[in-house]
Structure 1
Amino acid sequence: MYICYYNHCKVYCNNIVKEVFIIIRIKFSTGEFAKICHTTKNTLFHYEKEKIFEPAFRDDNGYRYYTEEQIEVFFLIVSLKEIGMTSKEIKSYLSKRSPKELLNLLGEQEKIINKKIKKLKHIKNIMKNTQVITEKALQVEINKYYMIECEEQFLVTTEDISNLSQKDIIYSIANLERLCFENNIDTYNNLGKILDFKSGRDLDFNNYNKYYFRLVSKKGIKSLHVKEKGTYLTFYCAGNENISTIYNNFINFINSKKYEVCSPFYEIPVLDEASTSGSKNYLIEISIKVGNINT
C-alpha cells in the first residue's frame, strides 16, 4: 500500500493498483478558515510569517487553503499563546510533538497557570481592599478628629529609615513592594508611614521611622509590626496641607485633653494618585492610640 496525492486528495493504492481509495480533503480558504476558528485573516498571516502555522497548500494561483485537520492545531496554538508561550517555544513543540512531549508540555504549563492564577488572585485582593478604603474615605469629614475603635492590625514594614538618604529610602520602599508582590502577600495597597512619638520629645515631621503596608492576613509572615487593638484618635486632612502644622496641632489637642499616648503615629493616604489628581485632592489619615479618654 502506498499513498499519493491527486487534486489535493489523499489516494491510497495497493501495490497492484487493483483498488484505489480516495479520501476527500475538505479545503477552506483563508477567510473560511478564519471564520471557523473565530479569528482573523491577519492572525493567520501573522502565524504564517512566524512559521508556526501555515496553509496546508496553495493552488496554482497562489491562494492559501487550510484543511479540517488543522483546526485542532490552530486552537492548540491559540491556547499556548494565551498562557504566555512564545512563538519560538510553540514552534519548537510542534516540530517534535508526540504524546510524551504533550504530557511534558501540559505538566509544565499547568504549573505556570497555577502560578498565574495565584498572582491574579493576589491582584484581585489588592483591588478589593483598595475599594474598601476608597469607599471609607468618601464618608469622612476633613479637618475633624474622630475616636475610632480599631482591631489588632498586622503590618509589614521597611527597615528603620530614619537615618537613610532619600535615595536609600526609595530603595527600601521598592524592596518592600517587591517582597509583597513576589510572595503574593495580600495587603491593603496604600503605603503608610510610622512616626514614633513620646510625650515631651520634639518630633521631626519629615523624618519618619518606617514605611508599611497593612496585611490582610498575617499567615506565613514571620516578621511584622503589630498595630495594637484599642482606641485611636484619628484626623483626616488634605494632602497639600503643611504636615508639621497638622502634627503640632494634633499633639496640642492630645495635651489639651490629657490623653495618654500609647503608640506611634500611623499616617496613610486613603485617597492618593490612584484615585485623584494632584496632592491637594489627597486624603491623609493620621492616627495614634490614646488612653485616659474618660478622665
Structure 2
Amino acid sequence: MDKNKTEVYLTTGEFARLCDVNKRTLFHYDEIGLLKPALTNEKGYRYYSHRQLDVFLLIQILKDLKMPLKEIRSYLDNRTAGRMIEMAKQEILHIDKEIAKLQENRQVLEETITFAEEGLAARHGEFRLEDQEEERLIRSGVIADGDPRAGYLEWSNDFRKFDQLTQFDASSFIGTMVEIRNLLTQDGSAVYYFVKTNSNSTNLKTFTKPKGRYAVGYHHGCYDKLDETYIQMFNYIGELGLTQGEYAYEEYLIDDVAVKNPEDYVTRITLEVR
C-alpha cells in the first residue's frame, strides 16, 4: 500500500471509534458511494485518512437535519466552496426554525407545569384579595351567543396567525373574559377569549386589564357549575363591603389535557372589585 507520508491512515475499526459509530455504518457509506476509504490494499483492507473526519462529521450533521443520504451524496459529489456556503446558509435557516419551534414547545410545557401546580394546590371555597398589576391582553371579538364554537374557531384562527408573527410574546393558554353585569342571568353578558401578551404591536385587538384589586378563587369541577362558585365569590366580596367591577377572567389550570374526569377540572376565577 502506497501511503502518503503527510497523511495519517486509520483502519475501519479505528476510524469508526474516532467517529463514534459502528463499522457497519462505514461499510454502508462505502457501498452507496457516500464516503469511500482513502485507500484499499491488495487484501481488501480499508484505510481512512484523518482528513476524512471532517467529511464524516458534516454527513452526520446533515443527517441530523433530516437531509436524505442521496442529497448528501449529491452535494459531496459536486461540492465547491460556493455550494458549501449556500448549503450551510440554507441549513442554518432550518435550524433557526427548529430552535424557534422547540422554544415554543418548551414555553407551552413550562406554562402547563405552572398552571397544573397552581391547580393542584388550590383549595375549593377559599378566596383572597390581590393587588394586581396592569396586563395587556389580546382579546377576541364578542363570542356569538348562538354559536360560541364559531366564535372560538374564528378567534383561534386569528390567534394562530398572530402567534406565527410574534412567536413568544404571548401566553399559549387561552382564557375567557366575561362581563360581570348580568353574569348570573341570561340577559347577555359579553364573553371574549383572551391571551396575555408582552407585545407592543399596534395591529392587535388588545385590551388592558387595569391595575387594581381583584378577588381570586378556584372552581373545582365541570364548567356547567361555574355559577355556583361565582355566587360564593359575590357573597365573599359583599361581606367585605366591596362591589363587583366590570370583568371576570377565567383561566383553566387543570382541564381535559391533564385529567379525564371533568369533576377534576380546576378553573381560576379573577374578579375585578371596587
SS in 1 for 2:174: strand
Instruction: Note if 1:281 corresponds to 2:258.
Output: no
Match of 1:233 in 2: 215
Instruction: Note if 1:55 corresponds to 2:63.
Output: no
Match of 1:195 in 2: 178
Q: State the Cα distance separating 1:76 from its structure 2 match.
A: 0.5
Change (3 A) 1:200 1:89: closer
Normalising by structure 2, what TM-score? 0.77
Contact 2:221 2:263 in 1 (8 A): yes
Q: State the Cα distance separating 1:142 from its structure 2 match.
A: 1.8
Name the amino acid aligned to 2:199: K
For residues 282 and 74 of structure 1, the distance between their equivalents in structure 2, rounded to whole angstroms, comes to: 52
Match of 1:109 in 2: 91
For residues 211 and 84 of structure 1, the distance between their equivalents in structure 2, rounded to whole angstroms, comes to: 38
Q: State the Cα distance separating 1:278 from its structure 2 match.
A: 3.4
For residues 58 and 281 of structure 1, the distance between their equivalents in structure 2, rounded to whole angstroms, comes to: 68
Matches for 1:1-295 after TM superposition, within 5 Å:
7=1, 9=2, 26-29=9-12, 31-41=13-23, 43-44=25-26, 51=32, 53-56=34-37, 66-163=48-145, 165=147, 167-176=149-158, 178-179=160-161, 181-183=163-165, 184-198=167-181, 202-203=185-186, 209-215=191-197, 217-220=198-201, 222-223=203-204, 224-240=206-222, 242-251=225-234, 253-254=236-237, 259-291=242-274
Q: State the Cα distance separating 1:153 from its structure 2 match.
A: 1.2
Contact 1:161 1:209 in 2 (8 A): yes
For residues 61 and 255 of structure 2, the distance between their equivalents in structure 1, rounded to whole angstroms, comes to: 38
Name the amino acid aligned to 1:87: L
Change (3 A) 1:289 1:34: same
For residues 51 and 146 of structure 2, the distance between their equivalents in structure 1, rounded to whole angstroms, comes to: 64
SS in 2 for 1:179: helix
What is the percentage of aligned positions where both structures have the same residue? 24
Name the amino acid aligned to 2:93: K
Name the amino acid aligned to 1:219: N
Change (3 A) 1:71 1:161: same
Change (3 A) 1:47 1:194: farther
Contact 1:173 1:211 in 2 (8 A): yes
Q: State the Cα distance separating 1:69 from its structure 2 match.
A: 3.6
SS in 2 for 1:259: coil
For residues 99 and 92 of structure 2, the distance between their equivalents in structure 1, rounded to whole angstroms, comes to: 10
Q: State the Cα distance separating 1:167 from its structure 2 match.
A: 4.9
The structure number with the bigger radius of gyration is 1
Q: State the Cα distance separating 1:235 from its structure 2 match.
A: 1.5
Change (3 A) 1:47 1:269: farther
Name the amino acid aligned to 1:245: E
SS in 2 for 1:168: helix
Higher alpha-carbon deviation: 82-91 or 137-146: 82-91
Name the amino acid aligned to 1:193: T
Change (3 A) 1:113 1:239: same
For residues 209 and 22 of structure 2, the distance between their equivalents in structure 1, rounded to whole angstroms, comes to: 56
For residues 176 and 24 of structure 1, the distance between their equivalents in structure 2, rounded to whole angstroms, comes to: 61
Change (3 A) 1:46 1:188: farther
For residues 85 and 247 of structure 2, the distance between their equivalents in structure 1, rounded to whole angstroms, comes to: 56
The RMSD of aligned alpha carbons is: 3.7
Change (3 A) 1:82 1:199: same
Contact 1:271 1:283 in 2 (8 A): yes
For residues 115 and 288 of structure 1, the distance between their equivalents in structure 2, rounded to whole angstroms, comes to: 39
Structure 1: gaps spanning 5 or more residues: 1-6, 11-20
Change (3 A) 1:200 1:186: closer
Number of equivalences: 270
Change (3 A) 1:144 1:178: same
